[in-house]
Amino acid sequence: MREPRGLLITGTDTGVGKTVVTCGLAGALRRRGLSVAPFKPAETGCDLAEGTNRLVPADAELLRRACATEAPLDTICPYRFRPPLAPWVAAGQAGVAIEPERLERCYRELGAWSDVVLAETAGGILVPLREDFHYADLALLLHLPVLVVVGSKLGAINHERLTLEFLRAAGIRTVACVLNHPFEETNEATETNETTLRRLASVPLFVVPHRADSAPAWDDPVFDPLAIHVEKYLGNAV
């Protein structure tokens, strides 16, 4: 069996638009003729389906639609929790242990069904899945390069540089950064972040402008340059 081709999408913080970027990238890769599968190892803050005890992973559902995949939701998102907490904390409250071996099996299954697997973290790269296992460990386990989504706000420069420095020190490849604009408010920081990050860039930087409609859009051509870069990167990496 061939090794899956995949990418881990993480953020410099929560609420920076990882799911929007992942959906947009999935749509752009599909337009380039690639089959794409999403992988959301753990989703917290899930609501209960009306009249049931079934937890609905809203982000994983959106990712599944963006990828137009028939892969089972239990494989796409094997761990779901109701409290909006770090996965390790939410799992502990539920009396569940997140197993890296199960995550690896799910990833490989998704890789067998698709050309590219887009895995998305919950929060940033060091958010724990277990006490002794975080998303950077998952990237190393699955040999995944990382795409960093940066939310444009005051502090974005520091957050981006800290994340990139950690990935470099951990021996994890960084494909690119995406400067996303999820917030309607503008200020001097949001107006200068792109120029500053380009001057300091150690990896390619792509920019997603603010959208009046914040819903994930997998048909937006703004993601096409990113998809071209990702396809080329993954093609050269295997």
Residues that are catalytic: 40
Amino acid, res. 227: A
Longest dimension (CA), the chain: 53
d(C-alpha 214, C-alpha 182), whole Å: 7
- Tokens describing residue 179: 């400067």
How far apart are the two ends of the chain, measured CA to CA in Å? Answer: 14
Q: Which residue, among 40, 26, 35, 15, has the nearest Cα to 226 in the 3D structure?
A: 26
- Tokens describing residue 43: 């989703």
Amino acid, res. 189: A
**Hey, is 134 helix, strand or coil?**
strand
Of the CA atoms within 13 Å of residue 167, those in its CB half-sphere come to 30
